[in-house]
Amino acid sequence: MVYWGASAHRFPFTHCKQNAQRADFAYAKKGFIDPWSAVAPGAVKGTILSLGDELYERALGAYLGFAVGDALGATVEFMTPSEIQNTYGMHRDIIGGGWLKLKPGQITDDTQMSLALGQSIIDSGGWQATAAADAFVTWLRSKPVDVGNTCRRGIQRYITDGTLAGPMNEGDAGNGACMRNLPLALATLNDDEAFAHATLEQGHLTHHHPLSDAATLALGRMTRTLIRGGGIKECRTEANRLIGEFPLFRFEPYPKRASGYVVNSAQTVLYYFFRTDSFESCVTEVVNCGEDADTNGALAGMLAGAAYGVSGIPGYWLKKLDKKIKFRIEEQTKALLTLAQNVKAKRGS
Ligand code: MN
Ligand code: MN
C-alpha cells in the first residue's frame, strides 16, 4: 500500500518560476529526474534556496553522522566500558577491527539496512512496505557482515509467509527498527502523519513492540525537528513526551546500560546528546559506553549530525568513512529530500 508520494513525479523545490523552469529543462534535456538540479547551491542567490541548503546540510549531517557513528562504534561493539578503557583509553579513531574484523571506515548492518530502506523508498517514489521488505530480503541474501537476530527472524518470516508484520512479541524490543528509520524521516520530512504511519509499518517488518515503536517515533521526530531547524530545546520536549508516555525511558540519572534493548539504547543516546555540545563529544561519549556501540553511535551521530550539521562532523572521521558509502548517502539524502518536497506539493495542491 502506498501512502504518499507514489507517483507524483513533480519537481522539487519549485518555489519560484525560475526553479521550475530549470527543473523542467533538466528533465526534458536528460530524460530523467535529476533531483538536485533545482537546488544546486547558488543556483538562485538570495532566495529560499539558502534555507534549502541549511536543511540539506543538517539532513546530510544526520545521515553521514549516522554512518560515522556506526564505523567508529563497531570497533568496540559488545565490549564493556572498562575493556574499552584498558584497550584504547578513550576510543576516538575510526580504525576498524572489532569482533567483525572490519576495515577502517567500514560500516555494518545499521548503515546497510538504512541504505536498503532508503533505496526502496526512492525506487518506489514513496513508502511501500513490500518494497522495503523485498529490499531487506535482498540485503539478507547479500551475505552482510552482520545481521541482528530479530531482524533476521522478521525477514525470514516475510520470506516464508509474505506477511508484513508478525504478532506483538515481547522479544521484539531491540533497537533494530529504530536504527534504520532515518531515510523514512527524510522522505516524509514535510508530513508528520505520513512519517508516523510509515514508521510503524517499517518497524513492524521485523520488530513489533510498543517500546520499539515509541523510541523509533521519538528519535525520528527529534531528528526531523532538528533538520527543520527546531533546535535542541524543542528536541528535549519530544524526549520528555517519550518519558511521559513510557517512564521506562527516563535517562537522568544515567542508568549506565547501553545494550541493544531499545530502552537502554535510547537512554544512552539521549543522555549524551543533551549533555554534550558537539558532534565529536556526543558520539565519542556514546561509543565509549560499549555494548551496542555501533548502533548507539549511529543513532547519536544521527541526532548530533542533524543538530550540528555536516560541517560539525570532524573531517578526519568523514575522510575515513568508506567512500562508496559516503557517495550513496549523499545521493540518497538529495533524492529523499526531493520526495519530501513532492509530498508537500501534493498536500498543498
Ligand atoms: Mn551493526
Ligand atoms: Mn549493533
How many whole angstroms from 97 Cα to the centroid of ligand 1? Answer: 13
How many whole angstroms from 132 Cα to the centroid of ligand 1? Answer: 19
pLDDT of residue 51: 46
How many whole angstroms from 145 Cα to the centroid of ligand 1? Answer: 9
- Ligand nearest to C-alpha 292: 2
The mean pLDDT of 159-187, rounded to a whole number, is 98
Mean residue pLDDT of the chain comes to 87
160-174, 180-194, 335-349: least confident range: 335-349
- pLDDT at 28 > cutoff 50: no
How many whole angstroms from 267 Cα to the centroid of ligand 2? Answer: 15
How many whole angstroms from 106 Cα to the centroid of ligand 2? Answer: 14
How many whole angstroms from 77 Cα to the centroid of ligand 2? Answer: 7
How many whole angstroms from 22 Cα to the centroid of ligand 2? Answer: 43
Give the model confidence (pLDDT) of 264-316 as tens digits. 999 999 999 999 999 999 999 999 999 999 999 999 999 999 999 999 999 99
How many whole angstroms from 147 Cα to the centroid of ligand 2? Answer: 9
How many whole angstroms from 249 Cα to the centroid of ligand 2? Answer: 19
- pLDDT at 25 > cutoff 70: no
pLDDT of residue 50: 37
Pairwise CA distance, residues 127 & 233, whole Å = 30
- pLDDT at 1 > cutoff 80: no
pLDDT of residue 29: 30
Residues 6+ apart with CB under 8 A from 29: none
How many whole angstroms from 268 Cα to the centroid of ligand 1? Answer: 16
How many whole angstroms from 295 Cα to the centroid of ligand 1? Answer: 6
The mean pLDDT of 26-44, rounded to a whole number, is 34
pLDDT of residue 15: 30
Give the model confidence (pLDDT) of 63-121 as tens digits. 999 999 999 999 999 999 999 999 999 999 999 999 999 999 999 999 999 999 999 99
Q: What angle do CA 115, 143, 66 make, to 5 degrees?
A: 30
- Ligand nearest to C-alpha 261: 2
pLDDT band at 215 (very low <50, low <70, confident <90, very high): very high
DSSP 3-state assignment of 97? Answer: strand
Are 307 and 74 in contact by the 8 Å Cβ rule? The answer is no
- pLDDT at 22 > cutoff 60: no
- Ligand nearest to C-alpha 70: 1
pLDDT of residue 52: 62
**Taking the alpha carbons of 117, 122, 124, 125 in that order, is the dihedral positive or negative?**
positive
Higher pLDDT, 195 or 28: 195
11-15, 66-70, 114-118, 125-129: least confident range: 11-15
Pairwise CA distance, residues 44 & 185, whole Å = 27
User: What are the φ and ψ backbone dihedral angles of 309, each rounded to 5 degrees?
Assistant: 80, 170
Q: Percent of the chain beyond pLDDT 70?
A: 83
**CA distances in angstroms from 13 to 61, 157, 309, listed in the order given:** 20, 40, 20
How many whole angstroms from 109 Cα to the centroid of ligand 1? Answer: 5
Q: Percent of the chain beyond pLDDT 90?
A: 83
- Ligand nearest to C-alpha 111: 1
pLDDT of residue 342: 83
The mean pLDDT of 239-263, rounded to a whole number, is 98
The mean pLDDT of 11-22, rounded to a whole number, is 31
How many whole angstroms from 13 Cα to the centroid of ligand 2? Answer: 36
Pairwise CA distance, residues 118 & 113, whole Å = 8
pLDDT of residue 310: 97
How many whole angstroms from 236 Cα to the centroid of ligand 1? Answer: 27
How many whole angstroms from 105 Cα to the centroid of ligand 1? Answer: 13
The mean pLDDT of 43-70, rounded to a whole number, is 76
Higher pLDDT, 22 or 165: 165
pLDDT band at 171 (very low <50, low <70, confident <90, very high): very high
How many whole angstroms from 31 Cα to the centroid of ligand 2? Answer: 41
- Ligand nearest to C-alpha 77: 2
How many whole angstroms from 123 Cα to the centroid of ligand 1? Answer: 25
